Every structure is written in C-alpha cells, then in structure tokens.
Amino acid sequence: MDVEIKKYLFDIQESIDSIQKYLGDKRDFKSYMGDKMLRRAVEREFEIIGEAMSRIEKLDSSIEITSKRQIISMRNRVIHGYDKIDNEIIWGTIVRHLPTLKLQIDNLLD
C-alpha cells in the first residue's frame, strides 16, 4: 500500500479515536446536544475523516471501505452547509457507522 494512503488511513484512525475520546462516558444524544464545544470538535473530526477519505479515493478507488461516498458527502455537508448540520445524523453516524469504519481502517493498517 502506498505510503501516502497509509498516512490518510492513519489520519482517519486518529480522528475516530479522538471522537471516542471526546465523548468519553457521555454516550447519549442529550449530553452531546448540550455541549456545543463537543459538537464542534466532533464535526471537525468528521471533516478530517471525509477529506482523508476523498484523497484516498483519488489515489486508489479500489480500496474497499464501506460507505466511502457517504463519508465524503458528510464532510462536504459539514464544511459547506454548516448552517444545515443535522445533529441527529451526526449522532447516528457516531453510534451506527463509526465502529464499523474503525474496524475497517484498523484492518487496512494492519
């Protein structure tokens, strides 16, 4: 695997780990909604994940990552549609999709 792709995969891995660290024991939507700084931090990590995914896609579109297009689209919505961010979608992504993405990235880096 290309060194540059590994760097982007590591960036994704680091952002996922950061989101999990930010949330700590606050694993409920109400706590998430009550903490603007937490929401902004999570949004920034999703920007990084989406940008790294976009760069991986440009370098090697054959790398198998579930929901690759949706991840890139989420990044675009967070950056360009800051006033239309749906916190329920962000939270749903954290709960339902982040664990799968983490597993796939960890496997690709092994």
Question: Could you read off the pLDDT of 43-61 as tens digits, one per residue?
Answer: 999 999 999 999 999 999 8
Told to judge if 80 belongs to the known catalytic residues of this protein, a careful annotator would answer yes
Q: What was the pLDDT predicted at 82?
A: 67
Residue 26: its pLDDT value, please?
65
- Mean residue pLDDT of the chain comes to 90
- For the cut 80, the answer to whether the pLDDT of residue 80 exceeds it is no
How many separate domains does the chain show?
Answer: 1
75 is catalytic: yes
Distance from C-alpha of 107 to C-alpha of 9, rounded to nearest angstrom: 10
C-alpha to C-alpha distance for 16 and 49, rounded to whole angstroms: 8
HSE, side-chain direction, 13 A CA sphere, residue 1:
17
Q: What is the mean pLDDT of residues 1-20?
A: 95
**Domain coverage including residue 66:** 3-109
Q: What distance in Å separates the CA atoms of residue 27 and residue 33, rounded to the nearest whole number?
A: 11
Distance CA 98, CA 84 (A): 21
Answer whether residue 77 shows pLDDT above 80: no
Higher pLDDT, 83 or 53: 53
Percent of the chain with pLDDT over 70: 97
Check 39, 55, 69, 80 and give the catalytic one: 80
Task: Let me know the angle formed at the C-alpha of 25 by 21 and 31, rounded to the nearest 5 degrees.
Answer: 100
Out of 39, 75, 77, 97, the active site residue is 75
pTM of the model: 0.90
